[in-house]
Every structure is written in structure tokens, then in C-alpha cells.
Amino acid sequence: MVKAVVEQIVKHSPNCIIIVVTNPLDAMAQAALKVSGFPKNRVLGMAGVLDSARMSSFVAMECKVSVENVHSFVLGGHGDDMVPCRGTRPWREFPSPIFCPRNALRPSSSARAKAAPKS
């Protein structure tokens, strides 16, 4: 599927920059790079936005606040090597630890199941 899509992208927009946002991100971005023949600075992978949104959902559920008031940021690849940036998560003007104890920021398996995308 990625191959067919990338071939069409290259055919119709040969000077574009491709931004890959599907999982598994690393494999899909690598496939898009190979199929497109583009230089590596024109094929980008972007997964952090989705994972940051999931983290915001976990924090909001655990701390019983609106997700609109929680802004999260994660670094690293999707999976076990991902790092949540606790200190960069402003909650309006205040850091989240003021409102939510540290152990509440470790989502339970039920919270993860609720926030996971439905297939």
C-alpha cells in the first residue's frame, strides 16, 4: 500500500516533501524513502503528535480534568524507547505536578485501553 501511494506522490508531485504519519512509523518512512528515491531530507516521519495527544488523554483522565487544559510532549520512537517530558507539560500556567501527584501520571492498563485507537 505504501509503495503504491508513494509512487503516485512522486508521479504527481515530484518536488514535494513527504511526511509519513502511519505506524509502524520507522518502517513506513524507510519504505517511502526507498520507493520515492528522494533524498533523506525530503521524507520525514512524524509520530510524536499522536503519542503526545494520547499522553494528554491519560493525564486528563487520571487527574479528572479536561484534556483541553493538558499539553503533553513526548520524545523518541513509538514504543518502549519513548520518553514523556514531564517538566514540559504546562497546565495552563502551572506545571502538572501541582495538580496531579506523580504516581497518577502512570496510566493503568484500563486507561491505556480507553485511549488506544479503535481498529
Signed CA dihedral, 103, 98, 58, 27: sign only: negative
- At 14 the three-state DSSP class reads coil
Decide if 12 is catalytic: no
| pLDDT bracket for residue 36 (50, 70, 90) | very high
The active-site residue, picked from 54, 71, 78, 86, is 78
User: What local confidence, expressed as pLDDT, does residue 34 receive?
Assistant: 97
Cβ partners under 8 Å of residue 108, min gap 6: none
Cα dihedral 77, 78, 83, 86, rounded to 10, equals 130
Query: Cell 507539560 belongs to which residue?
Result: 89
Cβ partners under 8 Å of residue 67, min gap 6: 56, 57, 60
pTM: 0.53
Q: What digits encode the pLDDT tens for the residues 59-85?
A: 788 777 788 878 788 877 667 777 777
Residue 102 · residue 59 · CB < 8 Å? no
